[in-house]
Structure 1
Amino acid sequence: TTVTLGTPLDELLVESAHSSEYTKFILHYNFPPFSTGEVKMMRGVGRREVGHGNLAMRSLKKMMPGSEYPYTIRVVSDILESNGSSSMATVCAGSLALMDAGVPLKKHVSGVAMGLIKKDEQFAVLTDILGDEDHLGDMDFKVTGTRDGICGVQMDIKVDGLSMDIMRAALAQARNGRLHILDAMHNCVTNAREDVKPHAPRMVKITIDKEFIGAVIGPGGKVIQEIQRETGTTVNIEEVGNVGEVSIFSKEKAGLDKALAWVKGLVMAPEVGEVYEGTVKSIKEFGAFVEFLPKKEGLLHISEISWKRLETMNGVFKAGDKVKVKLLEVDPKT
């Protein structure tokens, strides 16, 4: 089972007959023929993959972080061998993989498949059934959940119905089985990692005033494309109410910091009296032009450079030099 973290641009559009929505949690369940010792063509997704994948996804989704979590999460479960409930194995492995990946899962989720052998009024409930017990038995009852409750159920039966005694016994045995599995899972991974793994995309989210969204995007997306190209990051902007949420993703911290400083500079208003670290852009006879915020330049006059009188700018600065400057005034015309 593999967990992949992506950006909000990787969200999946899920459409049904009555609605369509984007989801940030995706689970793919793959059941190749060789997992049951068969030699067949690898075809498209079948009913089994869809049904088992949906059960596992619904079970884990209950414990996933809320919409404020910035990553899009994809869980892929590749079944390599099957002589039991591979969908319940997907739930358990998915829970462990998510925590190991640094996704703040609220609690571990485990699952177990219950079976039934029934003759007249006599019955026996089986825990964690194998393939033959599923094939020859009268019930396949899958139960998933945490220590505190059930997250999902699915039942297939080959009899006309089940009595309350059978249901009570099945649910009680399923709870004992789930708790036993949860103990083993807890011994392996106690809590989610405090941070995502080093090879996962790094992310930072900031909130800006709605009026600055256009400045960050630029005409025809020119500015945001330049930021992404120059820093090697992915920048996503969403308008939420009266503010804009800017999410920046990068594989490297240096690129992330550069893009963050760039965006902050675009939305930051220069403050008189504030000290900035700028870059010398050009040298003139009367001083130097310094970029103290992204795309914001000011004149460092020759008379403000030193306590001593300077007759010329020769040898004082060169383009690209870093210099600390203090903003004395803002020209209202520019």
Structure 2
Amino acid sequence: MLRFIIRNNRGHFKECKRYVSAKTTIGQSELVLTAGEIARFADSAVVASTGDNAVLATCVYQDAGQETDGVPLTVDFRQSAAALGRIPMNFLRKEMSQTDNDILTSRVIDRALRPMISKSWTNPTAINIKPMALDEDCDGIILGLNAAACALHLSSVPLINPVASVRVSIINDEIMLNPPRHRLSEGMSMVLAGTRAERAVMIEMEGPQVTIEQVEEAITQGLSGVDQLLDQMDSLKKSAGKPKLEIESVRNVRVEKNLYEKIRIMAEERLEYIFTDPTHDKISRDDAIKEVRKDVLASFDDFAETSREFNKLVRYTLRRLTINSGIRCDGRGVQDFRPISIKVDVYKKLHGSALFQRGQTQVFSTVTFDSPAAAFHPDSISQLLGAQQRKSFMLHYEFPGFATNEISSNRGSNRREIGHGFLAEKALKHVIPDHFPYAIRISSQVLESNGSSSMASACAGSLALYDAGVPLKAPVAGVAIGLMTNDEKPDEKYQILTDILGIEDYLGDMDFKIAGTSNGFTSMQMDVKIPGLTRKQLSEAIRRGKSGVDFMLSKMANAQENPRNEFKSSVPVLETLKVDPYKRSNIFRNGGLIAKTIEAATGVRISIDDETQLALTAPSRKRMDEAKEMLNKLLMESTVEDYNFGQLVQAEVTEAIDRGVLVRLQTGAQTHFIPNSQLSNLPIKHPSAAGIDVGQKLTVQWLGRDPQTGKVRLSKRLVGSASVISRINPKTK
């Protein structure tokens, strides 16, 4: 047995007789959780492994900090080339900043863990997830999430409930738990995090138009797997867990008992008036609340505590009014949508475009076509290793500061933009035609934001694809579903909200984004601020999302019911040109000089499609014809002479080297290599041994071309000296 050391809360060590582990089989894999062996300076450290794959998660917290509106939690997942048995192929040959996939994985883990930490916890807490050994078929997300969840469970950080996660897939109508990574693209894939009593905490799902019944059955089986994992985590905690800290002793804050009551008496009526006035929009409502806040803060000395208690009153007032009356702050019922307006073909020059407005959320989406050869995009592993893979559909999401009347200092995509863009991309990618000739890029630009801009991007993207003429398998719409619960009876007294506002997301308990077609769901993303949803609440939310998607599809059909019959004239022209392999060097030699010259002159991009064809991408038919004319002229001028197999031709020696000679069959033509073995019937070490020198004229036999390389094969071994001159092709004389 190995020794195992646990650090106590103040950094000292105590020894145990052994390190501890727990294992269980969930679906297709056996998961082993181990603690006490490595990273023992951390407050807790857990290695989750399956087979030869292992991921380390550590949990560290600092002394109590200032109280904030949210939980001070940081989650970072960072892929490792060493864990994959590779050396990064970038310039520095080491891991650089987080990849997009690392960021997406970090967000998934964060959303699963954050609701389980008490909102009274003020200690800055960091969870780091590091792969130790992985193969390309391992599901690093599930390993990392369970390692992080177990590390948090074993740590001193106080938890409401422990959480665990499984991946549920539907492949060929069969539900599978934790399938191998290579099978995830064959059907629906869902990452489900949950806790005891069949409560769902986080959902991340994508799939090809999955029905409600399939989703609900997948959740049922997934939550049963979660219970198995929680049993193992609990047994591990009994052996290696640390006592949880008392939050009051950590905070050490004395809140004046009657401060909240004084603020309530002063401001509650004014807040009720604001939240029941449907004429307010986002800006005017926020300004009105700021005025009340200003008066309240001016009446008390402790600015920080007063501000905190006022925020609690704002939250309580909005939630109470919504739950009790079923009327929201903008006057809508719980199932009502904001006003919707749609405009397609916004700019004629663009390949496809749509302007989508839902309330005060506005998204402008454009579609751009390009050749498939241009559609190379790094994935999680290949980006780390410096390789690239072909990706024929992509959606990029932009959220500038002016969308919320703020100044943005960001340059490039942040975590939020990456996460929301990926969600909208998943919503649409499953309805793209299987053999579409172009690579497609959607750019979704958020111009105004008051809730659910990612689902607005899915709607606008679908409309823009129709405007561009893409024959989708079915149009896609998306909606955000919210939840407000009574703090005392959250399971019994609540309201599910359709098409939530920004303030309902901020002060509510759930943001459940659901996208799909009339046939089923294509993507989901659920995160909550409470310790999980009951099955009843979750089922109601999913069904509310389905009815919301159907409503949105009917609105979108009024604006654009079918895809455009033909592409716009601005869409690039794609063609292929058959070229013998041995002629390619004339186009791509010298760093592709000829290809770049033609591209500069005509705007036509030339790339290799397969072994016998070039792919041409032109901005117009006229430019395509110009490029083809230039290419045909070049290929005709550079055509290497061909002869009948076995024909005798005359060649001039241009260079002699140890291995053979270079000869030219025609003046100005390219040279061909003849090895020593084809210069003489006897073994020779140098052409001079056969009496051959530079400038000499030789009669050689044409033996065709190598079928793989296209190189000319010539031989002098079977050629007589003077008797064959009369048989030489006249054009070579």
Match of 2:477 among 107, 110, 113: 110
Match of 2:378 among 8, 11, 14: 14
Q: Secondary structure of the equivalent of 2:447?
A: coil
Partner amino acid, structure 2, of 1:14:
P
Partner of 1:132: 503
Give the whole-Å Cα distance in 2 for the aligned partners of 1:332 and 1:194: 58
Q: CA deviation at 1:260?
A: 4.2
Partner of 2:572: 201
Partner of 2:169: none
Q: Given the alignment of the two structures, is residue 23 of structure 1 paired with residue 384 of structure 2, yes or no?
A: no
Partner amino acid, structure 1, of 2:546:
R
Partner of 2:450: 83
- Contact 1:6–1:201 (CA under 8 A) maintained in structure 2: yes
Q: CA deviation at 1:249?
A: 1.8
Distance 1:181 1:245, change over 3 A: farther
Gaps of 5+ in 2: 1-364, 640-728
- Contact 2:483–2:511 (CA under 8 A) maintained in structure 1: yes
- Contact 1:213–1:244 (CA under 8 A) maintained in structure 2: no
Q: Given the alignment of the two structures, is residue 237 of structure 1 paired with residue 608 of structure 2, yes or no?
A: yes
TM-score normalised by L of structure 1: 0.70
Give the whole-Å Cα distance in 2 for the aligned partners of 1:238 and 1:44: 32
- Contact 2:571–2:620 (CA under 8 A) maintained in structure 1: no
Gaps of 5+ in 1: 269-330
- Contact 1:112–1:144 (CA under 8 A) maintained in structure 2: yes
Distance 1:222 1:31, change over 3 A: closer
After the TM superposition, which residues 239-318 of structure 1 pair with which residues of structure 2 at under 5 Å, given as runs?
239=610, 243-260=611-628
Match of 1:182 among 550, 553, 566: 553
Distance 1:97 1:54, change over 3 A: same
Distance 1:14 1:176, change over 3 A: same
Partner amino acid, structure 1, of 2:539:
R
Partner amino acid, structure 2, of 1:5:
F
Give the whole-Å Cα distance in 2 for the aligned partners of 1:191 and 1:213: 45
Distance 1:262 1:49, change over 3 A: same
* Worse overlay, 105-114 or 70-79: 70-79
Write out per-residue CA displacement over residues 191-211 of structure 1, whole angstroms, 9 at most, x where no aligned residue: 2223322222222235x3764
Q: Higher relative CO (CA 8 A, sep ≥ 6), structure 1 or 2?
A: 1
Give the whole-Å Cα distance in 1 for the aligned partners of 2:507 and 2:465: 35
- Contact 1:118–1:138 (CA under 8 A) maintained in structure 2: yes
Distance 1:214 1:12, change over 3 A: closer
Q: Given the alignment of the two structures, is residue 50 of structure 1 paired with residue 418 of structure 2, yes or no?
A: yes
Partner of 2:436: 69
Give the whole-Å Cα distance in 1 for the aligned partners of 2:436 and 2:522: 21
Give the whole-Å Cα distance in 1 for the aligned partners of 2:563 and 2:482: 32
Q: CA deviation at 1:143?
A: 0.6
Distance 1:151 1:249, change over 3 A: same
Partner of 1:284: none
- Contact 1:12–1:26 (CA under 8 A) maintained in structure 2: no
Q: CA deviation at 1:170?
A: 0.8
Q: CA deviation at 1:165?
A: 1.1
After the TM superposition, which residues 153-164 of structure 1 pair with which residues of structure 2 at under 5 Å, given as runs?
153-164=524-535
Partner of 1:92: 459
Q: Secondary structure of the equivalent of 2:527?
A: strand
Write out per-residue CA displacement over residues 157-188 of structure 1, whole angstroms, 9 at most, x where no aligned residue: 01111111112111111111101101111121
Partner amino acid, structure 1, of 2:367:
V
TM-score normalised by L of structure 2: 0.34
Higher alpha-carbon Rg: 2
* Worse overlay, 49-58 or 102-111: 102-111
- Contact 1:216–1:223 (CA under 8 A) maintained in structure 2: yes
Give the whole-Å Cα distance in 2 for the aligned partners of 1:332 and 1:97: 63
Q: CA deviation at 1:65?
A: 2.8
- Contact 1:85–1:113 (CA under 8 A) maintained in structure 2: yes
Q: CA deviation at 1:76?
A: 1.3
Q: CA deviation at 1:257?
A: 2.9
Give the whole-Å Cα distance in 2 for the aligned partners of 1:79 and 1:231: 35
Give the whole-Å Cα distance in 2 for the aligned partners of 1:86 and 1:258: 44
Distance 1:165 1:95, change over 3 A: same
Residue-pair matches, total: 269
- Larger relative strand fraction: 1
Give the whole-Å Cα distance in 1 for the aligned partners of 2:545 and 2:599: 51
Q: Given the alignment of the two structures, is residue 149 of structure 1 paired with residue 528 of structure 2, yes or no?
A: no
Q: Secondary structure of the equivalent of 1:144?
A: strand
Distance 1:222 1:32, change over 3 A: closer
- Contact 2:572–2:619 (CA under 8 A) maintained in structure 1: yes
Write out per-residue CA displacement over residues 50-75 of structure 1, whole angstroms, 9 at most, x where no aligned residue: 11011011111111233x43423221
Q: Given the alignment of the two structures, is residue 3 of structure 1 paired with residue 359 of structure 2, yes or no?
A: no
Distance 1:218 1:53, change over 3 A: closer
Distance 1:86 1:219, change over 3 A: closer
Q: CA deviation at 1:212?
A: 6.2
Give the whole-Å Cα distance in 1 for the aligned partners of 2:407 and 2:474: 39
- Contact 1:115–1:129 (CA under 8 A) maintained in structure 2: yes
Partner of 1:297: none
Distance 1:246 1:216, change over 3 A: farther
Distance 1:255 1:32, change over 3 A: closer
Q: CA deviation at 1:18?
A: 6.4
Q: Secondary structure of the equivalent of 2:378?
A: strand
Partner of 2:406: 38
Identity of aligned residues (%): 40
